């Protein structure tokens, strides 16, 4: 006789409260982020949610509160592994809080994307795009429509005062990179900039110029990208080749990100240079592949999944309280590998 299994019942908020040893109201406050509780109580509720696989009834909640429970992440390059980790951390927590997350790859048709987001009654958006007037227009259109917006790395020079900034401290990160190379006796350090160096938002460029001048008392060399600005492998390869063709002396290159650094490493090899012996290369972001290239890449990075979770918590608090939170700043950490030699 076939064994009969009991029906699988969906966990309720009451079940979560019972498991955590608290009230349903407390569970509701914690999951919605509307009140502060002790870290111990928050951890108990989160553990109960995970163990019981609690999934809030999004449709019912949306109908009662007349909310969409929909968020959006808008980035310029979904193929960049850095964004993948950030998105993963964001979505993991958003799902626990009953949100649906749309992820958009936005590099053109900015107003059409903004109109679609507004039409779908999206409640909050995290934006990380290449700085431009189109980016400003995109962000301001969303904020003017009442959508809560978090903007990555303060990349809009002119934006609505309701926008919250979430910054990775690239300024300090670049300073640490320049100091590290200087300690290895490098002075002929060149920056390969994938972004518009004339934008106030390129903190890496500004920090590089200031720190280099402070250490060596002269203007550094910057190889600038051309529009349309991008920061992928091909950009790094192209800018590194421009450097070599110029004949400018160089013992170390710093790239805007790891992808550009990979392109620079390829160019070095094609010019007969052994990275980590003849020339140093440093990137930014510490993406998953940076430890797999040869030689492993020295880079300035941060915990991207944890950053994604913090982004969601910030956005959720803004949505639930309708009070603009403080900007988020995350520190960089220099990860030292074999792509930098001592002179």
Whether residue 3 is predicted with pLDDT greater than 50 in this model: the reply is no
Distance, C-alpha 16 to centroid of its chain: 32
Give the model confidence (pLDDT) of 27-52 as tens digits. 888 876 667 788 888 889 888 888 88
- Which domains does the chain possess? 13-55 (no CATH), 62-169+303-330 (3.40.50.2300), 170-301 (3.40.50.2300)
pTM of the predicted structure, to 2 decimals: 0.77
pLDDT band for position 65 (cuts 50, 70, 90):
low
Give the span between the Cα atoms of 188 and 36, in whole angstroms.
51
Give the span between the Cα atoms of 279 and 192, in whole angstroms.
14
Of residues 97, 98, 11, the one with CA closest to residue 54: 11
Give the span between the Cα atoms of 1 and 16, in whole angstroms.
35
What whole-number percentage of the chain has pLDDT above 90? 66
Of residues 257, 245, 159, the one with CA closest to residue 205: 257
pLDDT value for 4 = 46
- Alpha-carbon dihedral 132, 160, 203, 313, rounded to 10 degrees: -120
Give the model confidence (pLDDT) of 99-111 as tens digits. 999 999 998 889 8
Give the model confidence (pLDDT) of 249-302 as tens digits. 999 999 999 999 999 999 999 999 999 999 999 999 999 999 999 999 999 999
């Amino acid at each position: 006789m076939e064994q009969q299994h009991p029906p699988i019942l969906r966990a309720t908020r009451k079940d979560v409260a019972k498991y955590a040893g608290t009230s349903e109201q407390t569970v509701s406050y914690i999951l919605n982020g509307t009140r502060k509780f002790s870290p111990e109580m928050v951890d108990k509720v989160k553990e109960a949610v995970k163990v019981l696989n609690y999934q809030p009834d999004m449709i019912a909640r949306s109908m009662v509160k007349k909310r969409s429970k929909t968020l959006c992440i808008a980035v310029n390059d979904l193929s960049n592994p850095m964004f993948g980790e950030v998105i993963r951390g964001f979505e993991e927590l958003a799902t626990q809080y009953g949100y649906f997350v749309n992820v958009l790859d936005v590099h053109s048709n900015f107003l059409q994307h903004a109109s679609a987001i507004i039409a779908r009654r999206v409640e909050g958006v995290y934006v990380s795009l290449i700085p431009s007037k189109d980016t400003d227009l995109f962000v301001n259109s969303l904020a003017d429509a009442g959508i809560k917006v978090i903007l990555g790395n303060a990349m809009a020079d002119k934006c609505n005062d309701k926008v919250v900034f979430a910054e990775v401290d690239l300024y300090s990160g670049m300073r640490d990179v320049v100091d590290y190379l200087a300690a290895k006796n490098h002075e002929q350090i060149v920056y390969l900039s994938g972004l518009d160096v004339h934008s106030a938002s390129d903190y890496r460029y500004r920090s590089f110029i200031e720190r280099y001048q402070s250490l060596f008392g002269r203007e550094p060399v910057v190889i600038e990208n051309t529009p349309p600005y991008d920061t992928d492998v091909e950009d790094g390869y192209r800018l590194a080749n421009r450097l070599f063709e110029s004949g400018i002396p160089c013992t170390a290159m710093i790239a805007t990100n790891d992808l550009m650094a990979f392109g620079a490493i390829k160019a070095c090899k094609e010019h007969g240079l052994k990275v980590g012996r003849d020339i140093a290369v440093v990137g930014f972001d510490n993406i998953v592949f940076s430890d797999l290239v040869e030689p492993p890449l020295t880079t300035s990075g941060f915990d991207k999944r944890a950053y994604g979770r913090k982004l969601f918590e910030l956005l959720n608090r803004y949505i639930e309280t309708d009070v603009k939170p403080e900007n988020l700043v995350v520190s960089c950490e220099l990860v030292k590998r074999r792509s930098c030699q001592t002179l």
